[in-house]
Homo-oligomer: A and B are copies of this chain.
Amino acid sequence: MGQNVGDLGEFGLLARIAARLNETDQPDDGRVVVGPGDDAAVVTVPDGRVVVTTDMLVDGRHFRRDWSSAYDIGRRAAAANLADVVAMGADPVALVVGLALPSDTEVAWVTGLTDGLRDECAELGATVVGGDIVRGDLIVISGTALGDLGGRKPILRSGAHPGDTVAVAGRLGWAAAGLTVLRRGFRSPRVLADAHRRPDPPYAAALAAARGPVTAMADISDGLVADAGHLAAASGVSIELVKSQLPVAKELLEAAAAFNVDPLNWVLTGGDDHGFVATFTKRRKLPAGFIAIGVVVEGAGQVLVDGEPYANQGGHDHFRD
């Protein structure tokens, strides 16, 4: 066993974290006016409007330390927040992180987490600018990301119109398939287990969409049907998905055959890949990375798959799983 946070103490731990954040990967482009160490951080948002979102991960529910490395958990915690900022059409600027830790947490776990948070942010030119560390009986990671709209209008869930094309970017169902793999005690297919451990949100595709003919967009965190449903409800429309157009990766087909399950269930209900579902003005070229999967129709917030409601439409309920 390595040194734990109880041995090191709060101020020693903060110094270790600061050292990781100051490694080469943190962007230094003048956007961070005041970094960690004061009462608060200060970052520039030239737009004059700031996009803000928060996401909490609890040990044993949202991640398992025997399944995922601290580094991957950090990447995932950051990605969950950054994807929400990007889903608004904004460029992520900064992340702050609240962390509850038991005293026996290894220091190496915390520094690994920090590296993951930092590196996921760096992919988008964003910076970890502060946080809070407290003792708790279980590990809780609470991230809050800020973004800048760059003069553009925010892309809301409420902008879809009948006739719009529905499209998705990113993996669908991979993280859910990976969770099935891990829950059944397997470590492979590795590519699926890894998809659960660390999402790979198609940030660039969503940010390109925000500059184009997009009418509405949402991060897929509760599953395609559930999140398309949120978008449909907010827009006062319904959405018709075409089963044959849904991307079902060969990796999912193979795993589904091995586990004797329907791969479409992963694709339609799996969260945690942090892909994006968006609607686009009809007959306009979709941005790179998006594929059409259906159309927006008149309606009252329903999502239909080949004309039928999908059984599991309610999506994930944190208090009823």
Measured CB to CB, the nearest residue on chain B to A55 is B132
Bound-complex Cα distance A259 to B11 (A) = 31
Q: 1/0 per residue A34-65: CB within 8 Å of B?
A: 10011111111111111111111110111000
CB nearest to A58 among chain B residues:
B136
CB distance from A219 to the nearest CB of B (A): 5
Chain A 16-39 interface 0/1 with B at a Cβ cutoff of 8 Å (1 = within): 000000000000000001100111
Are A61 and B96 interface neighbours, CB within 8 A? no
Q: Select which of B47, B129, B134 is within 8 A of A58 by beta carbon.
A: B134
Which A residues, 142 to 159, have Cβ-Cβ distances below 8 Å to chain B?
Answer: 142, 144-147, 149, 154, 156-158
Q: Is the CB of A88 within 8 A of B38?
A: yes
A136-B13 CB under 8 A given contacts A44-B48, A50-B146, A56-B142: no
Q: Is the CB of A136 within 8 A of B48?
A: no
Tell me which residues across on chain B come within 8 A of A49, comparing CB atoms: 33, 42-45
Please give, as numbers and ranges, the residues of chain B lying within 8 Å of A145 by CB-CB distance.
40
Contact A84 B39 (CB under 8 A): yes
Verify B98–A62 contact, CB threshold 8 A. no
Q: Are B53 and A96 interface neighbours, CB within 8 A?
A: yes
Q: Which residue of B lies closest to A156 (CB)?
A: B38
Interface assignment of A138: CB less than 8 Å from any CB of chain B: yes
**Complex-state Cα separation, A33 to B52, whole angstroms:** 11
**Pairwise interchain contact A48-B45, C-beta atoms closer than 8 A:** yes
Distance in angstroms between the alpha carbons of A10 and B321 in the assembled complex: 10
Binds B, one of A169-177, A192-200, A265-273, A312-320: A312-320
CB-defined contacts of A135 to chain B, threshold 8 Å: 58, 61, 318-319, 321
Q: Chain copies in the assembly?
A: 2
Of B5, B42, B57, the contact of A149 (CB 8 Å cutoff)? B42
Interface centre among A138, A140, A144, A146 (most CB of B within 10 A): A144
Answer whether residue A6 sits at the interface, using C-beta atoms and an 8 A cutoff.
Answer: yes
* Residues A58 and B100 in contact in the complex (CB < 8 Å), given A39-B157, A318-B10: yes
Q: Are A10 and B45 interface neighbours, CB within 8 A?
A: no
B154 and A33 within 8 A (CB) = yes
| Chain B: CB-nearest residue to A46 | B48
Contact A39 B88 (CB under 8 A): yes
Query: Do A154 and B50 contact each other (CB < 8 Å), given the known contacts A5-B319, A135-B61?
Result: no
A138 CA / B100 CA spacing, docked (Å): 11
Give Cα A318–Cα B9 distance, bound, in whole angstroms: 8
A interface, CB within 8 angstroms of B: 5-6, 8-11, 13, 33-34, 37-58, 60-62, 84-85, 87-88, 90, 94, 96-101, 103, 129-138, 140, 142, 144-147, 149, 154, 156-158, 217-219, 234, 317-321
**Would you give 14 A-B contacts (Cβ < 8 Å), ordered by A?**
A10-B317, A10-B320, A13-B319, A37-B234, A38-B234, A45-B45, A45-B49, A46-B48, A52-B94, A52-B130, A134-B318, A135-B318, A135-B321, A136-B140
Q: Which 10 pairs from chain A and chain B are nearest by CB?
A: A142-B142, A40-B53, A56-B98, A144-B144, A39-B87, A98-B142, A39-B84, A54-B96, A58-B136, A10-B317
